Amino acid sequence: MRMISWNVNGLRACLNKGFLDFFHLINADFFCVQETKMQQGQVDLQLEGYTQYWNSAQKKGYSGTAIFAKRPALSVRYGLGIDEHDQEGRAITLEYENFFLVNVYTPNAQRGLERIDYRMQWEDAFREYLCGLDAQKPVIICGDMNVAHTEIDLKNAKSNIGNAGFSYEERGKLDELLQSGFVDTFRYLHPDVTGAYSWWSYMYHARENNAGWRIDYFLVSDRIKDALSSSCMYPEVMGSDHCPVGIEIF
């Protein structure tokens, strides 16, 4: 079973930059996108053989998530079930017989950590939500989690300590999530690989120089980690400031 996650930084723009080429080439069973920046129906997106699930932000042109699935879900949840966290279209959960799939776009702490307090509230609520799912059946989580976990997960670690995406607070919350019974699939299979990034700034030729960050993840419940056969990135795929990431499992 192949799963793909991609922060497209505006799906309408990405559609003009090769999105469908990669979508059809990769032929994923589940294709999760973040930062759609649109409402469902703003484009006529025909994806034959896929059921589409959309969670758009109330604010138009902002945030948003979607999942395109070859198999219809047994049930679907939009958001975390907490009103203060469910205005920005940041999470979708699909239930299947043997697992839950959660697509997430984690709030950015913003420059100067202006939104760090809200980010911490989100992290606690999201972890509690995932643990509740995990108590029922295994969980697969993917998306832009807006944090580089350790120093090998970004090019310029020393100069970014304390900045949004590499603050002690954000990294600590990812520690807490992993300690709650989840596994970072890429680091499980590639513990020491360096230079593997999923996001690059548009400035300073960052992508050309591979001065990036690994902030897009697939996590799985610890008890199904040995069902993983691969966890990888597709840095050659353009169309966004993020590249797609993927796993094959079961």
Q: Which residues are catalytic?
A: 105, 144
Look up residue 116 and give its DSSP letter.
H
187: its two tokens: 């680091």
Report the run of H or E that residue 218 belongs to, with start and end.
strand 216-221
3 burial (CB, 10 Å; 0-12 / 13-18 / 19+) is buried
Please tell me the distance from the alpha carbon of residue 112 to that of residue 227, in angstroms, as a whole number: 40
41 CB-near residues (< 8 Å, 6+ apart): none
SS3 65: strand
- Of the candidates 249, 244, 173, the one whose C-alpha atom is nearest the C-alpha of residue 2 is 249
102: its two tokens: 């959660």
Is there a contact between 31 and 245 (Cβ–Cβ < 8 Å)? no
The number of residues making up the chain comes to: 250
- Phi then psi for 218, rounded to 5 degrees? -120, 120
Pairing of strands 2-7, 30-34: parallel
Look up residue 179 and give its DSSP letter.
H
